[in-house]
Structure 1
Amino acid sequence: MNTSLLLFVESNTTGTGRQFAQRARALGAEPVLLSADPGRYPYAAEDELRTVVVDTADGDALWAAVQRLAAGQRIAGVLSSSEYYVATAADLAARLGLPGPSADAVRACRDKSVQRRTLAEAGVPVPWFSVAGEVAEAVAAAQWRGGPVVVKPVQGSGSLGVRLCRDTGEVAVHARGLLAATVNERGLSTPSRVLVEQYLTGPEFSVEVFGEHAVVTVAKHVGAPPAFVETGHDVPAVPAAADAAALVDSAVHAVKALGLGWGAAHVELRLDAGVARVIEVNPRLAGGMIPELVRRARGVDLVGAQVRAGLGLPVDLTDAAGAAGAASIRFLTAGADAVLGDTDAAEAAARAVPGVVDAALYRTPGTRVGPAEDFRGRLGHVITAGATPRESARAADTALSFGLATALEHAPAREAMPV
């Protein structure tokens, strides 16, 4: 077999993981998934993806597995669609002399305390922040700042552990819980530090950057505090001209300051009295199906671009003719405890709304659900396309309210446990 290999170190569990492998095959490369537990990704078996079982947290074991693969076939690239393993993939690519981002830059970026300090020193607008390694330090920082603050882990993804704390009592409780955790949801060790930061209330956006080029600005919808669950996105965002320029300038400045500038970066920002403050930079493609929205709205395939970059191929980020012009997504979340009813009917009602191109509920009828604390609490999605952002957003809101949301039924009271 002479086909070159494109190695993937683990994967994200939702969204683009499958698409990475599909794009590799379309480009004539054989995707190979390196994973401690390939069963975590159902698409791997469904798509008959070649897999290698290896402890991806063990650098020596991982390198040995890569060397065995290289002895039989040419390895053309190493990537990961999971933020947790982007630095690992970059390390492997560098050892093999293949394209990729700076692993040191990715590691620094993934530590939000290091990232914030780097951005602040480079003059990139960021919220006020303080780093705490003990509960007392977090409480003192909140007292000094005054008013509500956001407390979050210095590493994480998908709004995990991010919470608005309105007083020092809430800060103490949440910081104590975060600092007690020694591993994350992937079983990887986590730093014993938290970020205490200014609570910004302005509109939230993301800028999708590739290399040092801003591809598109996305309008983000975020659920009510104290959690900050992303509930939707609109592509493209249409802020005022001055705000649009400020968002792009802050995002690109941040990427350069962090020493990234290779492949995709997802930069999250909030407008604060006209200032585009960077909330965080993620050294990867956006989640929340944003790449799919960009593909439908602009005809730009960000997943394909990342795969091409990993293979050392030229990347074209030019808008394609025939794209819709705009696209939106809305995620279903429960506002209170509920039970899922007729999911088939809810999906059918959503798909009947003009402009809907995809609708899905993730759980089965009869499932009890509650308010979302992070991305894992999202119950389904609807994606729309239209000629303008307003048109696609209106269709998405309608399909969510009169389609997917009809699956939510009032939850009966839980039966008391027998004494």
Structure 2
Amino acid sequence: MRERLLLLVESNTTGTGRLFARRAAELGVVPVLLCADPGRYPYAAEDRLRSVVVDTSDEAALWTAVRALEDEATIAGVLTSSEYYVPTAAALAYRLGLPGPAAEAVRACRDKAEQRRMLVGAGVGSPDFAVVSEVADALAAARGIGLPVVVKPVQGSGSLGVRLCADLDEVAEHAGTLLAATVNERGIASPGRILVEEYLTGPEFSVEVFGTDAVVTVAKHVGALPSFVEIGHDVPAALPGEQEIALRESAVRAVRALGLGWGAAHVELRLTGPRTAEVIEVNPRLAGGMIPELVRRACGIDLVRAQVLAALGTAPELERSGYARASIRFLTAEQDGILARSASLAEAVARARTVPGTVEAVLYRAPGEPVGPAEDFRGRVGHAIAVADRSVRAAEAADRAVALLGEAVSYADLHTEEAFA
């Protein structure tokens, strides 16, 4: 019998990228990572994941690689866990006659300027905005919208390049930096446009949507401004019923307005009134930040498995089978510092894992590695996950565990010998 393959077009470097491959294997399908550089994904070597090196930005080269795989096995599905490659994976699935989202819909959704226009056109609550390609236009937009404003790329992920600008000097500086970039962190060409948006206040949440069903609402914790680094999540969010309804209804309306409705969508919103939710953005993919793992532990719903099943043409399993509460807190550095020796790192992780309710505590960096304040997700140093029967208990346990992880970071002068002892 020919092997059945699940093609993974690139990946995120941690978290759900590894889980996609593992769930495929559990379902009896061979995961194959199509990527330009397998070295970006340490888990690929650790898990002995089959990889095919190909320029994933070159449609012809990608198709040639896929046709070669077809000669030896049956391609059963195509997915990606990377925001940047959702349109590529969708187009490839369509070309192969396999399940997936509408390629044009996800391509439009990936362009946050086009997404914003579509949401406004459909009457979905969202911030005032302007799309600009010159610093002078960014300044004019900021004046018109009213300071402070959020300035961010029209394409991106993980809060990369997203910044709150309090005055016109900050707008000019950050807009100039973004517009000067010719490629993003993945080496993909930048479009030469940015967004200037109204700054919405109020607590932030996400709604994890699958198809057109709101699965769960997640409370978000964001770090110190002017960056928007997510430093924690609580699942499910503890909310009054009317607020829960407002968030879920707005998220589903946004998904429908964008022509989505296949597989997972991660919708970020703010509550701007007692019963008013406005959409920050819609991501046509599973959430990052370990949210799928929190949902699995709290609700018994495996969103990664559901996404893999959908790609294989099988009905996903979305029935809730758990009623716990789960929280994650990310470790970020308060200032420039350095991680301790190996023994001290191991001790910090061991202590964090002793906190009642803690089910996971990890550090991402090596002993002696410098760390600094996070400006986006790449600045996270580690995380702790806790599960309990009440939201407050899960949150307190995660807070305590990540504080113990933080003892592995030394804020001594990096130029002194003590910092490297």
Amino acid at match of 1:10: E
Match of 1:381 in 2: 383
Q: Deviations over 1:42-98 (max 9, x none)?
A: 111221211111110000010111111112211111111111111101101101110
Q: What TM-score, normalized by structure 1, do the two folds share?
A: 0.96
Q: Work out whether residues 148 and 164 of structure 1, in 8 Å CA contact, stay in contact via their aligned partners in 2.
A: yes
Match of 1:92 in 2: 92
Alignment of 1:234-383 (within 5 A): 234-274=234-274, 275-320=276-321, 323=322, 325-341=324-340, 342-383=344-385
Match of 1:145 in 2: 145
- Structure 1 residues 413 and 96, CA, compared in 2 at 3 Å: closer, same or farther? closer
Amino acid at match of 1:298: C
Match of 1:175 in 2: 175
Q: Deviations over 1:380-406 (max 9, x none)?
A: 0000001121111111111122x1121
- The Cα shift of 1:14 comes to 1.1
- In the alignment, the residues of structure 1 paired with residue 411 and residue 66 of structure 2 have an alpha-carbon distance, to the nearest angstrom, of 51
Q: Work out whether residues 146 and 198 of structure 2, in 8 Å CA contact, stay in contact via their aligned partners in 1.
A: no
- In the alignment, the residues of structure 1 paired with residue 185 and residue 122 of structure 2 have an alpha-carbon distance, to the nearest angstrom, of 32
Q: Work out whether residues 362 and 380 of structure 1, in 8 Å CA contact, stay in contact via their aligned partners in 2.
A: yes
State the identity %: 66
Alignment of 1:1-12 (within 5 A): 2-12=2-12
Match of 1:408 in 2: 409
Match of 1:116 in 2: 116
Q: Work out whether residues 8 and 80 of structure 1, in 8 Å CA contact, stay in contact via their aligned partners in 2.
A: yes
- In the alignment, the residues of structure 2 paired with residue 46 and residue 238 of structure 1 have an alpha-carbon distance, to the nearest angstrom, of 38
- The Cα shift of 1:364 comes to 2.4
Q: How many residues align?
A: 412
Q: Secondary structure at the match of 1:72?
A: coil
Amino acid at match of 1:326: R
- In the alignment, the residues of structure 2 paired with residue 365 and residue 200 of structure 1 have an alpha-carbon distance, to the nearest angstrom, of 39
Q: Work out whether residues 218 and 235 of structure 1, in 8 Å CA contact, stay in contact via their aligned partners in 2.
A: yes
Q: Deviations over 1:193-227 (max 9, x none)?
A: 11111112210000000000000000000001000
Q: Secondary structure at the match of 1:2?
A: coil
- In the alignment, the residues of structure 2 paired with residue 47 and residue 109 of structure 1 have an alpha-carbon distance, to the nearest angstrom, of 32
RMSD of aligned alpha carbons: 1.1
Q: What TM-score, normalized by structure 2, do the two folds share?
A: 0.96
- The Cα shift of 1:368 comes to 2.1
Q: Work out whether residues 231 and 330 of structure 2, in 8 Å CA contact, stay in contact via their aligned partners in 1.
A: yes
- The Cα shift of 1:145 comes to 2.0
Q: Work out whether residues 368 and 411 of structure 1, in 8 Å CA contact, stay in contact via their aligned partners in 2.
A: no
Q: Work out whether residues 142 and 168 of structure 1, in 8 Å CA contact, stay in contact via their aligned partners in 2.
A: yes
Q: Secondary structure at the match of 1:359?
A: strand
Match of 2:419 in 1: none
- In the alignment, the residues of structure 1 paired with residue 375 and residue 231 of structure 2 have an alpha-carbon distance, to the nearest angstrom, of 12
Q: Secondary structure at the match of 1:196?
A: strand
- The Cα shift of 1:314 comes to 1.2
- In the alignment, the residues of structure 1 paired with residue 414 and residue 80 of structure 2 have an alpha-carbon distance, to the nearest angstrom, of 43
- The Cα shift of 1:413 comes to 5.6
Match of 1:60 in 2: 60
Q: Work out whether residues 2 and 72 of structure 2, in 8 Å CA contact, stay in contact via their aligned partners in 1.
A: no
- In the alignment, the residues of structure 2 paired with residue 31 and residue 413 of structure 1 have an alpha-carbon distance, to the nearest angstrom, of 43
